[in-house]
Amino acid sequence: MSTVLEIEKAIESLPQKEFWQLVEWLEAKREAAEDAADVARAEAARAEGGSNVSWEEVKQEMGWK
């Protein structure tokens, strides 16, 4: 049996309370990974330099105002 199938079978056999604890843990890990990616993108954008753009300018360029 492949590792993925073994993991699926183990998850399916969890009691409901433990299953939802696992879901919450996975969601927290996903959110942390997304946050880390956002920080990395922001740091890369800052490293590019250039001038700052105001929120008002961004809204105008996007046609939101």
Binned at pLDDT 50, 70 and 90, residue 65 comes out as: confident
Averaged over 9-15, what is the pLDDT?
96
Question: What digits encode the pLDDT tens for the residues 27-56?
Answer: 999 999 999 999 999 999 989 988 888 999
CB 33 within 8 A of CB 25: no
Q: What is residue 6's predicted lDDT score, i.e. its pLDDT?
A: 96
Distance from C-alpha of 5 to C-alpha of 13, rounded to nearest angstrom: 12
Sketch the domain layout of the chain as residue ranges.
3-61
Q: How far apart are the first and last CA of the chain?
A: 57
22: pLDDT strictly greater than 80: yes
